Amino acid sequence: MKTTIITVACTGLLLTGTAFAGGHGTHWGYTGHEGPEFWGNLSNEYAVCKSGKNQAPINIGNLTESDLSPIAFHYSNTSPMDIVNNGHTIQVNYAPGSTITVDNHTFNLLQFHFHTPSENTVDGRSFAMESHLVHADKDGNLAVVGVLFEEGPANPFIDAVWAHMPGKAGEKKQIADVTLNATDMLPSEQSYYRFNGSLTTPPCSEGVRWMVMKNPVTVSKAQAEQFNSVIGGNNNRPVQPVNARPILE
């Protein structure tokens, strides 16, 4: 996958610029005849949503013990806060210069966005919300860090984002006096699950490196409901067959 694909191909997950409001590609959603079970039939470009063997999200279970390298997070502040409601999620586009390094390989943070309830599950357990921090290396290969949110005390980082959440699909804001650092969204203990997967929205392209944090952080019921209300309902793709993939821990 090339960088140009990253910036324009996937409305729900990867768009990083003004292309959000342009409505690129065949329309899809989370309910009815445009819902996840029909994505693979909506367009030839989405065929892998139906035919792929390494689709995400998944139920994380039947784990394989492995000597996983720690993820080295090098996230800087981003300002102004560049936030968009693309009709499928709330997404914050990140200023260049923040990276992760894993297995001596560096990926640049492009954006993060949210799903409620969680897309990935753990031993069949669903969580109140999930964030996806989307990264790409210099060749356009993707790595997603998933953070699970369980219901509990209000999350200050989420408060800072939700305070400026655009209420209408296609609405985008740049908030000059807000500075965020995505490090503040991560759990303090950063062990993770690792599997090979895909985008969780059309075109469901495979070859994505997934790293889901083992330890959840909290989000209040009110915070999760506020997001759900603005998006207009749940925005999670159901878990997909694991097939022959190992899930490493």
So which residues are the catalytic ones? 88
Rounded to whole angstroms, how far apart are CA atoms 6 and 8? Answer: 6
Rounded to whole angstroms, how far apart are CA atoms 28 and 14? Answer: 15
**First-to-last C-alpha distance (Å) of the chain:** 27
DSSP codes joined into one string, 112-140: EEEESS-SSEETTB--SEEEEEEEE-TT-
Alpha-carbon Rg for the chain in angstroms: 17
Q: Give the closest residue to 134 by CA, choosing from 114, 120, 119, 118.
A: 114
Rounded to whole angstroms, how far apart are CA atoms 126 and 99? Answer: 28
